[in-house]
Structure 1
């Protein structure tokens, strides 16, 4: 991390656990935002800074301006440069053109949707319509109602429909992108080796770890169970961070519907079932509560509601539901490596790097052997059997 960023104001942000932490990145200041907004035509004078986002991987705020509120987001250039943000913005623009209600980045005077400035990169969005109901919710916390889960499932299916025909190549090696290039292969060991070689920070971290043996022990048995279903995974550009907090809602009630889709920061070319498995992993399992309790971590009512919403628009076969179950223990593995790349290579946090590797990369897969993990997989098998009977 750059020395210059150490002397600026910090905000309280979401950490990797339950407790809030001091943010890795300095808070945006009014003067900084005013300097950025000068590059955006029609926004007008900034009036007051209204809110700082608690999300951990970048800095963001809401600024009230003469033309209305905007969201300004700042990334370290090693995490997102202009080219990286353009990948996300092009995908969101495609979805918007196909009728999906997404938040689209504003363009600068030069027509670019991202602005480089020193070692930062900025993007600016109009405040999208909808209530930010889950604004303070951490990732891996469940929906607060089955209606929310159903609506989120429905909107995810709409996104997958809108994404069809978007044929940009997969994104290059970047920190914090949720790809599906390792366990989608018949033999994942070589693509895993390639993934590590492309990311020097991961290679450095694993230098003194017996990682090949750890992967063989913790992950390859799950991959063996996934192998028969690899032909179900049709490449598709996907959101890859489908959590309630990345959605805006019609109102603040338990009956609210999804109104706008936010935050395409992790989007990439994966497949629909990978995106759906990520949505289950993000919203249905209370990972952050595992330290406190072993039971009641899985919300099967929310799972059914989300899948019912999804399949009302895009029906799944019994085989696809089994593929979804087979994918679940591995769906977070590749993003866990991307987090390791970020924590070891960018923020240089030994504690979070260990969390990414031991708890997320290896530990999440192991959890699926537990009674709660088996309850989740068993429930999906029951859904598959019910589909076969009908």
Structure 2
């Protein structure tokens, strides 16, 4: 029998999606599964984006340019300007989701066995992208006790070797919801300049900053033009996850030229989705004001309800729509599967994402889960009620 590649065998399963078969089985049994596991917003996609698809007069659905249409990239460049980011359309490559942008970045800046340093816990697919590219992830641990703030610079410096090519952050963070302060970005900027590394920032949640805090992009930091690379996406910003449109943004022309070769190999990003995404850029600020208000309310409700569970610890998100929860149990993977296979309360159960899959260090996150608060408030309250009862029963086994 032909043999599967070592790379394929080492690819991790998604902690967000690996329990789907158990959830489907539960639904087949008539159980209402409340999904806290995946960041699929229930916020309505802006009507202007939907109308752009309905009302276009395309007769031949042809390829677009490899780097995305000129008009879309020019509107993207204009989108960034109010945030203090001065880029042109030539600094942008449109991709099939932020995931493809990140894979292009890794392929452009690192060779097989090179290393990228990432504060953990981190978005689980970073591990998958790195393995696919033959790159080693070097984790630097952040912790729930200080809300997953940036680890001390000394911890990063200790991890830098001759094979280190970049530091990668997610800001605001998935899965932590942590929003890096300007001072923390400046510390990282000084470090990558000192060691001549890239600083890559996944900023797909940049619009979602709470409690009067402001997002500070690495593209705003002076003197970082040749070091900074941003990965962005329309998925969360406009509740358009199914559009699969992202973009890579950098002023480093060598990175752009190299990433473009990877982009040429996949031909072009999807045409209809670019049309919708370009139109979405005309979404008024009032849309985001309402969405942010809603997410803050959901976060506050979630944290209040979780505080009622004895022995539970939760980090307070400052952005995005996720939080890490430490449970009074030993094995969150087993607990998450048990919730779907063996537990229900009044015909309902919850699906969560075990957090061990968001760590690269073995043994970390075993008693943690990630919760996505993308559901309306009453549904969140019900979910925590189920979680509270489930923990009590599971702990008695």
TM range, smaller chain: under 0.3
Give me the TM-score of the superposition, normalised by structure 1. Answer: 0.23
Give me the TM-score of the superposition, normalised by structure 2. Answer: 0.22
Q: Which has the higher contact order (CA 8 A, sep 6+)?
A: 2
